[in-house]
């Protein structure tokens, strides 16, 4: 009402929506490229000797060849597919074990949620990358995607737990309880609004985070297992020759970067950032 309270934020939601749309469009494009990889790629995954060794990009091999004569374009597409599938699985695990569980834990009876929150805080005190590597060490590399998802879950859990606790003691929750709206209805309300309004954002943010974790795990030798190479493993294999033949690492790195970038844009830069 007074001169102080009026702030113009008209442009912000539209800009965010545009950024989000651009991000999802990019992810869709990547998904289409991955879906058509068998058509676009000239060779199956890990097919060696397709072309000369370490040939630079040319009209014949658009992204060049690597040290084993593999077509970098084909390999990048196949690796992108593997990365996307693993990242998708890891994201689903993060959402279920992290975000959703955090939301429910905030409303567990007898303050048992506090104990779970404490435990999530302990796990969250270790970098997600190292936690994921630990899980892979205990299981095997076959479970890398699950490990990455579980490693990202503590942070997602803590975020939604804290948010759910804040909601449950908010003025509007108090008002609702004072008028007979019970806890279960309030939880359904919060669940519906939080996940309806922010599900895509949370999912996109989780996708970006687990993609970084998974690719780094593979690079360090704790992720994908050949012949199902992902982008991280592909870049790791390129280490021996990329100083002379930059294309063997640059293009997979670019594909990885684009995937992560589009995921972050699809989250509308929602890490407390403003455009």
Binding site for another protein (CB under 8 A): 1-8, 118-119, 121-123, 125-130, 133-134, 136-138, 171-182, 185, 189, 193, 197, 208, 212, 215-216, 219-222, 232, 235, 239, 242-243, 246, 249, 253, 256-257, 260-261, 264-265, 269, 271-275
Residues 6+ away with beta carbon under 8 Å from 187: 104, 107
For the bound state, the minimum distance from the C-beta of residue 90 to another protein, rounded and expressed in Å, comes to 15
- In the complex, least distance from residue 64 CB atom to another protein, rounded to whole angstroms: 15
Nearer to another protein, 38 or 271 (CB): 271
Contact residues for 126 (Cβ-Cβ < 8 A; gap 6+): 134
Q: Which is nearer to another protein, 47 or 116 (CB)?
A: 116
Asked if the peptide bond before residue 256 counts as cis, ω within 30 degrees of 0, the response is no
Q: Shortest Cβ distance from residue 256 to another protein (Å)?
A: 7
Minimum distance of another protein from residue 219's CB (angstroms): 5
Using CA atoms, how far residue 121 sits from 99, 106, 112, 118, 153, in Å, is 14, 14, 14, 5, 11
Nearest to 215 by CA among 258, 263, 253: 253
Cα(106)–Cα(138) distance, integer angstroms = 30
CA separation for the pair 212, 245 (Å, rounded): 24
What is the Cα–Cα distance from 181 to 53, expressed in whole angstroms? Answer: 70
The separation between the first and the last C-alpha atoms of the chain, rounded to the nearest angstrom, is: 28
Task: Rank residues 102 and 232 by Cβ distance to another protein and give the closer one.
Answer: 232
> If we measure between CA atoms, which residue out of 130, 145, 131 comes closest to residue 210?
145
Q: Which is nearer to another protein, 1 or 39 (by Cβ)?
A: 1
Instruction: Rank residues 4 and 39 by Cβ distance to another protein and give the closer one.
Output: 4
- Nearest approach, Cβ of residue 14 and another protein (Å): 14
Residue placing its CB nearer to another protein in the complex, 105 or 253: 253
Closer residue to another protein in complex, CB, 92/126: 126
Residue 10 to residue 224: CA distance in whole angstroms: 45
Contacts of 100 (CB under 8 A, 6+ apart): 160
CB of 235 to another protein, least distance (A): 7
Who contacts 107 (Cβ-Cβ below 8 Å, separation ≥6)? Answer: 113, 164, 168, 183, 187
Q: How far is the CB of 49 from another protein (least distance, A)?
A: 26
């Amino acid at each position: 009402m007074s001169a102080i309270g009026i702030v113009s934020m008209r442009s912000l939601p539209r800009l965010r929506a545009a950024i989000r749309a651009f991000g999802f469009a990019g992810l869709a494009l990547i998904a289409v490229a991955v879906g058509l990889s068998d058509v676009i790629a000239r060779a199956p995954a890990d097919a060696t000797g397709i072309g000369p060794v370490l040939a630079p990009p040319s009209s014949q091999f658009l992204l060049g060849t690597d040290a084993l004569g593999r077509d970098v374009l084909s390999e990048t597409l196949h690796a992108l597919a593997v990365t996307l599938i693993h990242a998708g699985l890891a994201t689903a695990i993060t959402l279920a074990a992290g975000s959703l569980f955090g939301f429910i834990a905030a409303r567990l009876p007898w303050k048992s949620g506090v104990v779970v929150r404490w435990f999530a805080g302990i796990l969250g005190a270790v970098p997600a990358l190292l936690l994921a590597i630990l899980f892979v060490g205990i299981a095997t590399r076959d479970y890398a995607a699950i490990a990455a998802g579980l490693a990202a879950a503590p942070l997602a859990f803590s975020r939604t737990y804290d948010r759910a606790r804040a909601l449950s003691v908010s003025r509007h929750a108090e008002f609702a309880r004072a008028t007979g709206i019970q806890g279960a209805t309030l939880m359904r309300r919060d669940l519906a609004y939080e996940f309806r309004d922010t599900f895509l954002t949370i999912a996109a943010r989780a996708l970006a985070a687990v993609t970084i974790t998974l690719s780094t795990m593979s690079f360090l030798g704790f992720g994908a297992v050949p012949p199902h190479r992902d982008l991280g493993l592909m870049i790791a294999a390129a280490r021996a020759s990329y100083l002379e033949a930059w294309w063997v690492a640059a293009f997979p790195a670019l594909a990885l970067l684009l995937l992560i970038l589009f995921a972050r844009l699809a989250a509308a830069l929602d890490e407390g950032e403003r455009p």
